[in-house]
A and B are shown apart, each in its own frame.
Chain A
Amino acid sequence: EADIYQTPRYLVIGTGKKITLECSQTMGHDKMYWYQQDPGMELHLIHYSYGVNSTEKGDLSSESTVSRIRTEHFPLTLESARPSHTSQYLCASSGGRWELFFGEGSRLTVL
């Protein structure tokens, strides 16, 4: 079992609200990632970090932002949620060359 945790697991909010999806790992991994996944579609990388104070945008353009102030914590924030942000967001971390561990995901619904 991977020690990577996401909260909340499910979130339903109204348009215009600010939300933060939390992701924490206790494995001491330097590399962390956020992916977006829609039903029947492939995962798309939206943000990644190779260490504290290091964040980069991924392949899929996203209006979300991330921060990496502590090694174990990689939160994702949407300043003003819209229905187009409805999706599943998966956090992942990697400590070795090949390993990639995923959290359980946060399913966001914006009304």
Chain B
Amino acid sequence: KNQVEQSPQSLIILEGKNCTLQCNYTVSPFSNLRWYKQDTGRGPVSLTIMTFSENTKSNGRYTATLDADTKQSSLHITASQLSDSASYICVVSDRGSTLGRLYFGRGTQLTVWP
């Protein structure tokens, strides 16, 4: 069964600190992996998209890594800000249709305290 598992389920850090969120997947075949940020009560917003050949991609203070061999990804947040408080969702796509079937993780709920 194709699955996407995220850890930790929730995380609390102090403003200015760094943190790393994990995503393990069993989706096969693999097409791409995305990280989304979802603020409370809002829709998800894309942070990064990585294909099989990419092992790191940055978007400002967000850096995602991908190890397609071990089927693991991480999202590193540098110098956290209060606005980083959100749910971070890992989404993996297989090589089905043009968009591919999407498999969603349950998200990591990050809270940044002042």
- Interface residue ranges of A22-53 to B (CB < 8 Å): 31, 40-45
Binding site for A on B (CB under 8 A): 4, 9, 32, 34, 36, 41-46, 49, 89, 93, 98-99, 102, 104-107, 109
CB distance from A4 to the nearest CB of B (A): 8
Minimal Cβ-Cβ distance residue in A for B90: A42
Can you pick out 23 interface pairs between chain A and chain B where the beta carbons lie within 8 Å of each other? A2-B45, A31-B98, A31-B99, A40-B9, A40-B106, A40-B107, A42-B4, A42-B89, A42-B104, A43-B44, A44-B104, A97-B98, A97-B99, A98-B34, A98-B93, A98-B99, A100-B99, A101-B46, A102-B36, A102-B43, A103-B43, A104-B43, A105-B42
Q: How far is the CB of A15 from chain B (nearest CB, A)?
A: 24
Residues of A within 8 A of B109 (CB): 40
B46 engages A104 (CB within 8 Å):
no
Number of interface residues of A (CB under 8 A): 22
A94 interface residue per 8 A CB criterion: yes
- Chain A residues engaging chain B, CB cutoff 8 angstroms: 2, 6, 31, 40-45, 90, 92, 94, 97-105, 107
> In the complex, how many residue pairs between chain A and chain B have their CB atoms under 8 Å apart?
49
B102 touches A105 (CB 8 A): no
**Residue among A31, A90, A98, A101 with the most chain B CB within 10 A?**
A98
Task: Indicate if the CB atoms of A105 and B41 lie closer than 8 Å.
Answer: yes
Q: How far is the CB of A99 from chain B (nearest CB, A)?
A: 7
Q: Are B49 and A98 in contact (CB under 8 A)?
A: yes
Q: In the assembly, what is the distance between CA of A98 and CA of B45, in Å?
A: 13
Q: Is the CB of B99 within 8 A of A43?
A: no
